[in-house]
A and B are shown apart, each in its own frame.
Chain A
Amino acid sequence: MFNKILLASDGSEHAIRAVEKALLLAQNNSNAFIEVVYVVDGDKSKADVLQNWNAVDIDFKRKEKLAFTEQKLKHAGVRYEINILHGDPGPSIVKYANEKVFDVCVIGSRGLNSLQEMVLGSVSHKVAKRANCPVMIVK
């Protein structure tokens, strides 16, 4: 049974598909607990601070991004928690996954082509390679 599920999300379409798979894993398991993490990249910090009046607004905007995810989780009636981390997305997720022990990590694949992947680097690949728990990459 997968009791502790880490769900890495950026609120995108691909991440929403990952939510559905995470819910499948949690189905019929009353012990299941889904922990959603959203990582704010350093460059994003600058834009967010510039565009929002204060820290309360920034926090609200970020939570808003995950609103659809949260709605799905609530609807499914599963226990969950949302955390916002700061740093480089790949390493931050890996660090979090390894510090707190999880039974599985679910993450959406962004569906980049091979050139984009070489240029941008794939967060899901980094997590798959370096996290200690099983990783499910949702396509």
Chain B
Amino acid sequence: MNLTMIKQSWFGNIKGDVLAGMVVALALIPEAIAFSIIAGVDPMVGLYASFCIAVVIAFVGGRPGMISAATGAMALLMVTLVADHGLQYLLAATILTGVIQIVMGIFKLARFMKFVPRSVMIGFVNALAILIFTSQLQHFVGESWPMYAMVAGALAIIYILPRFTKAVPAPLVAIIVITLIAVFTGSEVRTVGDMGELTQALPLFLLPDIPLNLETLMIIFPYSLALAVVGLLESLLTAQIVDDMTDTESDKNKETKGQGIANVVAGFFGGMAGCAMIGQSVINVKSGGRGRLSTLTAGVFLMILIMVFNDLLVQIPMAALVGVMIMVSVGTFDWSSLRHLHLMPKTDAVVMVVTVATVVMTHNLSIGVLVGVLLSAIFFAAKISKVHVHSLQLEAGRKKVYVVTGQLFFASVNDFVASFDYKEACEEIDIDLKAAHLWDDSAVGAIDKIVMKYQDNGTKVNVIGLNHESSVLVEKRAVYNKPDAKAANH
């Protein structure tokens, strides 16, 4: 990384970056507030987090132009921690999340992202969308028609306005209009102010007020681990999307460490854990943001807006935020996956649906991802464990050739061994392994077993066509080709 490159990533696109950053800041405010409410903390916690994370990641992130802040995926993971133990434990968990991510970055774990199948990632975003949507339903409880009408009005503005102008972000217009209506009609709908405190102060550096002992660690560690994993999954997915949109490359390990640093800073300044946001990053790039300056502008402008418009922010009706969150949920869902569900390979569709179902049942994205990855690993093993054996009679039935095609390993040996006929009358058997590969001890054991069964019946067996790796394995571990062989030696 030399000076010109740094300069380019900061000041290569000043006008586009500043304008896009401001658009993003406007779109961030309602989301940061709404995600705080989902997590069960004061709106300031999400706003401080968004400010800290955006500003820090602008300097230390590996993907210029990507927007990171307080997110729904992370907020959903911390609900029970906040409910059971309170804000201070959340701040401590946020710092620990950052530390875990920094460690993951140092060990370059971003490369393991390639083992997370696409079907799991589709399940991840779909489940996230469903959870964001269902988390809004509680706001309808005990409300009357003015609230319903406001939600409908907000949605109407959000979806119809962009047809006429894209100069201003539609969700912002929806919030302003609905807030004005609520203020001037004096309606008694619930507002952001009713959900928690919004202060006009800048975030301060504070140590979380918790006992520093093993018990605390045991409480926060499971949450931090889940937050770290989910945060990185969404961040690296977003980085890939931004890579594709801008046709450029990014440093995934630097981004991993950067996310960690940003979360540590957020935790010390009273913010909740966050990660990259797909929706906001797409808005940023579409609005012309490309460089680090856009992310920095988003964070700084967000803080300025909070300071200046604090009195107005508390008057935003929850109905307007619910409308914005429904839009976020609809935008997060991968609708093309529904259209293509019947075209996907069956196992992929099952993995996707199981991932979504697991998350919706457990309310935990990390468990859903884990189940999805394990399930697709099992499907993969099942798929490649199919071994085909077909036989040819030669020399008027005195000799028989078995041709084996496939991967021989612990999951495939049972069927493999069972596909031979040991009670044959022929004198000589060839086992042709040209199109097969031996992977482990089980495979060698299976060959031993087959050869010895034939030898017990007095049939001569030739194992032919082993590829180099397989023959090395056989040389080391097999017993059939050594004197005094016994299959049980394995």
Q: Mark A99-139, 1 if CB is under 8 A from B, else 0.
A: 00000000000000000001100000000000000000000
Q: Per-position contact with A for B226-266: 1 when CB-CB < 8 Å, else 0?
A: 00000000000100110111110000000000000000000
Query: Knowing that A46-B241, A49-B240, A51-B337 are A-B contacts, what are 15 other residue pairs whose CB atoms are under 8 Å apart, sorted by A's residue number?
Result: A42-B282, A42-B286, A45-B245, A45-B282, A46-B278, A46-B282, A48-B244, A49-B237, A49-B241, A50-B121, A50-B122, A50-B237, A51-B334, A51-B340, A118-B163
With a cutoff of 8 Å between Cβ atoms, the chain B residues found around residue A45 in the complex are 241, 244-245, 282
A42 and B117 alpha carbons, distance in the complex (Å): 22
Name A52's contact: one of B118, B243, B247, B337 (CB within 8 Å): B118
Name the contact of A47 in the complex, choosing from B237, B240, B246, B336 (C-beta under 8 A).
B336
Find chain A residues with CB under 8 A from B237 CB: 49-50
Interface residue SS majority, chain A: helix
Complex Cα distance, B121 from A50, in Å, reads 7
Chain A residue at minimum C-beta to C-beta distance from B286: A42
Which residues of B (299-345) have their CB < 8 Å from a CB of A?
334, 336-337, 340
CA distance A43 to B240 in the complex (A): 13
Chain B, range 328-381, C-beta contacts under 8 Å to A: 334, 336-337, 340
Residue among B241, B243, B245 having the largest count of chain A Cβ atoms under 10 Å: B245
Q: Which residues of A contact B286 (CB under 8 A)?
A: 42, 88
B122–A42 contact, CB under 8 A?
no
Shortest distance in angstroms between A47's beta carbon and chain B's nearest beta carbon?
5
Q: Tell whether B114 is near chain A: CB-to-CB under 8 Å.
A: yes
B122–A119 CB distance below 8 A: no
A residues whose Cβ falls under 8 Å from a Cβ of B: 40, 42-43, 45-55, 58, 86-88, 118-119
B478: interface (CB < 8 Å) = no
Nearest-CB distance from A51 to chain B (Å)? 6
The answer to whether the Cβ of B69 comes within 8 Å of any Cβ in the partner chain is no
- In the complex, the chain B residue whose C-beta lies closest to that of A88 is B286
Asked if B90 is an interface residue, CB under 8 A from chain A, the answer is: no
Chain A, Cβ-Cβ closest to B332: A46
Which residue of chain A has the shortest Cβ distance to B243 in the bound complex? A55
Residue of B whose beta carbon sits closest to that of A51: B118
Min CB distance A85 to B, Å, is 8
Contacts of A53 in B (CB 8 A): 114, 117-118
- Docked Cα-Cα span, A116 to B182, in Å, equals 34
8 A-B residue pairs with CB within 8 Å: A42-B245, A42-B286, A49-B241, A51-B122, A53-B114, A53-B117, A55-B240, A86-B247
